[in-house]
Amino acid sequence: MNAAILANQVPDPLQKEFILTVERLTVSFDGFKAVNDLSLYVDEHEIRVIIGPNGAGKTTVLDLICGRTKATEGTIKFRDKELTTMREHEIVHAGVGRKFQNPSIYEELTVFENLELSFPRGRSVFGALAFRRDAEVRDKIEEIASLVFLKDSLQTEAAILSHGQKQWLEIGMLLIQSPELLMLDEPVAGMSVAERLKTAELLNNIIHNQSVIVIEHDMKFVEDIAHRVTVMHQGKILSEGSMDHVKHDPKVVEVYLGH
């Protein structure tokens, strides 16, 4: 299996600079600790999958990293930048991209326009007013569109795309920003088997340039893409390692896979 080979190539994490270092991260909502003293280290060019039962705090971790939720305690370091004190758009500028659980695209605009708005230029008020659709923009949009299988739908209104295509479009909207860390919340939810395979292929293709954190429930898909898997339970990390490792971890079997 493709993923198994890749998993063997991951070097010893202790000898490397991490792209993302999360330490002692805690967030408390009225006393309820959705994420509790969590530490997580993601390598350059790694695909990390976070799994866990509902309510384990997986999405909250992504919310914390991208600045949507403010941490109660702990640090999140992206290379040498501390993300917990930065505002959302600054985190994006630093190179972190986030895909939401439900496809979050601009339904009233075309695929082209969706990608264009995500193109990292003219992000200030006056920059947006002065923005011109030049060859560089068009080329990049076409390049990304063919990467996410939407080359023939550029002038289609996003609302009428299929669910799977919407998911791809949102992934494309992130890719066009060339983030160094890509966070995907259930990217294959609602996709057909064929679409899942294509998405796995897409993720494995883009990995040369970025690190990816994926939240996913679909075990087949996880096996296809994961370099390493982190299992969360009740706001904490239950187990971490290769898919094989966590699959046979008795704690994981009990809380998650056993169900």
Partner 1 sequence: MTKRFGPFAGREWIALLILGLLLFVVFPTTLDVFRLNLVGKYLTYAFVAMGLVLCWGYGGILSLGQGVFFGLGGYCMAMFLKLEASTPEATKIQSTPGIPDFMDWNQVTALPWWWEPFHSLPLTLILVIAVPVFFAFVIGLAMFKRRVGGVYFAIITQAIAAILTILIIGQQGYTGGVNGITDLRTLLGWDIRTDDAKFVLYFVNGGLLIACLLIGQGIRISKFGRLMIAIRDKEDRVRFSGYDVANFKIFIFCMAAAFSAIGGAMFALQVGFMSPSFVGIVPSIEMVIFCAVGGRLSLFGAIYGALLVNAAKTTFSESFPELWLFAMGGLFIAVVMAFPNGLAGVLHKHIEPRIYRLFGGLRGSGTTGAVSSPHAAE
Written as one string, the DSSP assignment of 14-76 is: GGS-EEEEEEEEEEEETTEEEEEEEEEEEETT-EEEEE-STTSSHHHHHHHHHTSS--SEEEE
Report 70-109 residues binding partner 1 (CB under 8 A).
Answer: 87-89, 92-93, 97-98, 100, 104-109
Query: Judged by CB, which is closer to partner 1: 105, or 243?
Result: 105
165 binds partner 1 (CB under 8 A): no
Q: Which of 68, 79, 163, 247 binds partner 1 (CB under 8 A)?
A: 68
172 binds partner 1 (CB under 8 A): no
124 binds partner 1 (CB under 8 A): yes
Q: How far is the CB of 213 from partner 1 (least distance, A)?
A: 14
Strands (E), the chain: 18-29, 32-43, 47-51, 73-78, 81-82, 96-99, 181-185, 211-215, 228-233, 236-241
Closest among 164, 54, 193 to 103, alpha carbons compared: 164
Q: How far is the CB of 106 from partner 1 (least distance, A)?
A: 4
Q: Which of 53, 74, 122, 241 binds partner 1 (CB under 8 A)?
A: 122
* Bridge partners for 157 per DSSP: 110
Query: Judged by CB, which is closer to partner 1: 28, or 104?
Result: 104
Query: Judged by CB, which is closer to partner 1: 112, or 221?
Result: 112
CA 4 → CA 184, 210, 239, 244, distances in Å?
21, 19, 18, 9
Query: Judged by CB, which is closer to partner 1: 42, or 176?
Result: 176
Closest among 158, 145, 172, 161 to 108, alpha carbons compared: 158
The site for partner 1 (CB under 8 A) is made up of 66, 68, 87-89, 92-93, 97-98, 100, 104-110, 113, 116-118, 120, 122-125, 128-131, 155, 170, 173, 177
